[in-house]
Structure 1
Amino acid sequence: MALVGASFGAVSVAAGVSLPQTIALSVIVYAGGAQFLVVAAVAAGAAPAAIVLAGLVVNARHLPYGLVLADVLGAGGSRWSRVLSAHLMTDEATAFTIDQLRRHGDRAAARRLFLVAGAALFLAWNAGTAIGAVGGNLLGDPAAWGIDAAFPAALLALTAGAWRARIDRRVALAGAAVAVVATPLLPAGMGVLAGLAGLLVAGRGGFDPDGAPSGAVGAR
């Protein structure tokens, strides 16, 4: 987590985002994929509305996380503790908590694990961001060190877990193809939104170039 945070900090300042803004993104937004996407969109000169919309779409996966963990995070906690818990929600903390709950069925213990894991990951991410941002300022041009490659590499790493099934990989490729084709034709930053729209259309339609429905592909 700290290493990916450091890569975000370095890429962010290299893209022209100030050091305070970079750190504020990690503290306030605290969403790796959305943060990388925001920085890329800012560097491309995208409109603020497009940046916000893209970030919201990327983070939409947290909605089912919240539904799954609602009972756990509400176990013996105040309203403010639930708000804090929502901010600490990540893929990793959610996975740890669900595994704990599945193994032992103790909601209070699962909630404690979520808070400990969430806080540790939050601190690691923000420490990494600060180190990467300061180091990025000192290193200068990220292309000279290969740091600019951290953006696509980090996004691939963050989303790799969702590509296990063949249909998932094909839907992802369909969205990427739409983004590549649309980028030179649309205003800056809108190609990303077009790619996200392509993901939604391909996913809902059970996109499969071999002609098999999504259910049949996933069953192989």
Structure 2
Amino acid sequence: MAIDRPALAAGIRLGLGPAGAGFVLALSFGAEAEARGWGVGFPVLFSALAFSGSAQFTLLTALSGGTVAAAIASAALINGRYLVMSVALNDSLHGSRLTRALQAQALVDASFVFAHRNDGRYDVSRLIGASLPQWVAWVLGTAVGALTAPSPDLMHRLGLDVVFPAFFLVLALDEVRRSRRALAASLLGAVVAAGLLVVTDPGYALLGATVAALIGLLPEPELEREETS
């Protein structure tokens, strides 16, 4: 696959915002991992290879209070959203199986949103570009957090624990303005999550809310297609 350099550069610029938010979240992960006896090197290596905040925090928590099997199962469930995202991305990937697999490694939440085009496909060059600064910031933040170990109380007092959720709220608001179908999916997901919170943990409620993404399988109305083109 030939990289579209303008799209790659645009992706890098777009990725700087979530990279900053991710750096703060990675600080928290690195500090917590070091406090639980993981040391410095292992959390950094884990962040470099996994590059998934939800899975990493889930594993960190589950390993502290359960078995390895339970930790792995929890992380897999939390990351189940990537199955839906990968199906949507599949037709936009190009090249051999190895090339397509390497391209898919850039699939993270914010980059997935940035790479979305109005025709329903995804710009892979922009996807890769957006993920590059996020990966660097995530690994660097983990290292700084593990080395300096700031306390959770300090993170809370500075309001750094809400930076990442607030950023994704901005992304969600931008996405729902694109189409009525996106708005409907968002509202349905919120209702499902709220209902599941009554009977299960927040992580599983969030996972269950992803069923709202199935709305994307419905045919796009002609009027909406014209409005977004």
Q: Distance in 2 between matches of 1:151 and 1:12?
A: 17
Alignment partner of 1:58 out of 74, 78, 86: 78
Output the amino acid matched with 1:125.
W
Are positions 1:196 and 2:214 aligned together? Answer: no
- Which residue is 2:42 aligned to? 21
TM-score with structure 2 length normalisation? 0.62
SS at match of 2:118: helix
Q: Which runs of 5+ in 1 are unaligned?
A: 181-191, 205-220
Identity of aligned residues (%): 25
The 1:120–1:128 alpha-carbon spacing in structure 2 relative to 1, beyond 3 Å, is same
- Report deviation, 1:131: 1.3
Q: Distance in 2 between matches of 1:38 and 1:8?
A: 11
- Which residue is 1:134 aligned to? 147
- Which residue is 2:53 aligned to? 32
Alignment partner of 1:42 out of 63, 70, 73: 63
The 1:145–1:197 alpha-carbon spacing in structure 2 relative to 1, beyond 3 Å, is closer
Contact 2:25 2:164 in 1 (8 A): no
Output the amino acid matched with 2:103.
S
Contact 1:174 1:198 in 2 (8 A): no
Output the amino acid matched with 1:20.
G
Q: Distance in 2 between matches of 1:151 and 1:56?
A: 27
Q: Distance in 2 between matches of 1:33 and 1:149?
A: 22
Aligned ranges 1:68-107 → 2 under 5 Å: 68-74=88-94, 77-98=95-116, 101-102=117-118
- Which residue is 1:145 aligned to? 154
The 1:35–1:203 alpha-carbon spacing in structure 2 relative to 1, beyond 3 Å, is closer
Output the amino acid matched with 1:14.
A
Q: Distance in 1 between matches of 2:60 and 2:166?
A: 17
Count of residue correspondences: 177
Q: Which runs of 5+ in 2 are unaligned?
A: 1-21, 174-184, 212-229
Q: Distance in 2 between matches of 1:8 and 1:33?
A: 10
- Which residue is 2:138 aligned to? 125
TM-score with structure 1 length normalisation? 0.64
Q: Distance in 1 between matches of 2:35 and 2:159?
A: 12
Output the amino acid matched with 2:36.
A
